[in-house]
Amino acid sequence: MFEDFSTEKECVKVLSRFHDCEMREFDPEKYESDTMEQIVEAPNFILHKFVICGKKKQRLVIFDSTNKNLCYEYFWDNKEKSLMCCECNNNGHRRRVFATIRENCDGKEYVRLNKLEHICNLREYDPEKFKNDIVFLPSNFKFIEYIENGLTKKKLYLFPSNCEDKNLCYKFAPEKMDKPQYYCVKCRILKAHLCKNNETEYISMKAKKHSCEMTNFQREHDLHTVARKTIKAPNFQIVEHNFTTKKIQKLIIFTVKARL
């Protein structure tokens, strides 16, 4: 930027006419004066760092000044290179309420907030959300594939390392056939993800306790792997009879000796 003395106006000189980047939407809020920025000091904020499905995550929690059970949560926006309020960003308005972490002259961290007000409500602080996932290595999980009614099905079995009985496990079923995501068939809430690290597969799951009992793996294995027989006519017969107002059906299967 320089001053054109002939017109007494400031000018910008562009050294190249061509850009390698794409144009972005102009947002005047980003360039407003920061005279109203706020400073938040410890212990009024916590930066949580954790791992989900092998990916590093971070969440900045800024507590309400009067109630430490309530807070605002910020996620790292890689494009903006700053921490953005989760709820304001997802509210439809995509309001850019952001924060940056700085160090003072004593080396202590503090949070600097821009002057925009939140349009979201405070949320309850839940530290359990920020725990690292539990990882199951190949020695602690197994898949069983089987055919049922002509369709190939798959179940995942997880063996917790702290369980002494290595025959006990938790049973998971695919949430969607085209995604490596599974849900506990009893809890119906806990989910597990099949991940890969340098070609080694592992299971990643939230660090939460099951509300269900464990399953006997050997019984499950026998149920799905024992060869199934197809019985054709005339070696079976369906018998119908009336019982009060209902029609009852019974299936009778004959052995080879019985037919003779």
Taking only the tens place, the pLDDT of each residue in 150-171 is 788 899 999 999 999 999 999 9
Kindly state whether residues 43 and 117 are assigned to the same domain: yes
Position 12 in a domain: no
Is there a single domain that holds both residue 138 and residue 201? yes
Phi, psi of 42 (to 5 degrees): -65, 145
Residues 221 and 237: their CA atoms lie apart, in Å, by: 30
pLDDT reported for residue 258: 54
Residue 113 and residue 40 in contact, taking contact as beta carbons nearer than 8 Å: yes
125 and 141 together in one domain: no
7 in any annotated domain? no
Instruction: Provide the pLDDT for residue 5.
Output: 46
CA 235 – CA 230 distance, rounded (Å): 10
For the entire predicted model, the pTM comes to 0.63
In Å, the largest CA–CA distance within the chain is: 116
The domain boundary, picked from 130, 160, 189, lies at 130
Report percent pLDDT > 90 for the chain: 42
Q: How many residues does the chain have?
A: 260
Does residue 217 belong to any structural domain of this protein? Answer: yes
Q: Is 111 inside a domain boundary?
A: yes
**Share in percent of the chain as helix, strand, coil (round to 5):** 10, 45, 45
88 in the Ramachandran plot: left (φ > 0), alpha (ψ -120 to 50) or beta? alpha
Domain assignment of residue 258, yes or no: no
Q: Is 65 a residue whose pLDDT tops 70? A: yes
Q: What are the tens digits of pLDDT across the range 206-254?
A: 988 899 999 999 998 888 777 567 778 888 888 888 877 788 888 888 8
Last residue of a domain, one of 130, 165, 200: 130
* Structural domains in the chain (count): 2
Q: How far apart are CA 42 and CA 45, in angstroms?
A: 6
Assigned domain for 260 exists: no
Residue 71 located in a structural domain: yes
Select from 103, 130, 157 the last residue of a domain. 130
Q: According to the model, what pLDDT value does residue 222 have?
A: 85
**Ramachandran region of residue 244, left (φ > 0), alpha (ψ -120 to 50) or beta?**
left
Same domain, yes or no: 101 and 41:
yes
Instruction: Say whether both 151 and 113 belong to one domain.
Output: no
Please write the tens of the pLDDT for every residue from 110-122. Answer: 999 988 889 899 9
Q: What is the pLDDT of residue 1?
A: 44
Give the separation between CA 234 and CA 182, rounded to whole angstroms.
42
Instruction: Say whether both 69 and 158 belong to one domain.
Output: no
Please give the residue range of the domain that contains residue 199: 134-225
> Is position 186 within any domain?
yes
Together in a domain, 101 and 155: no
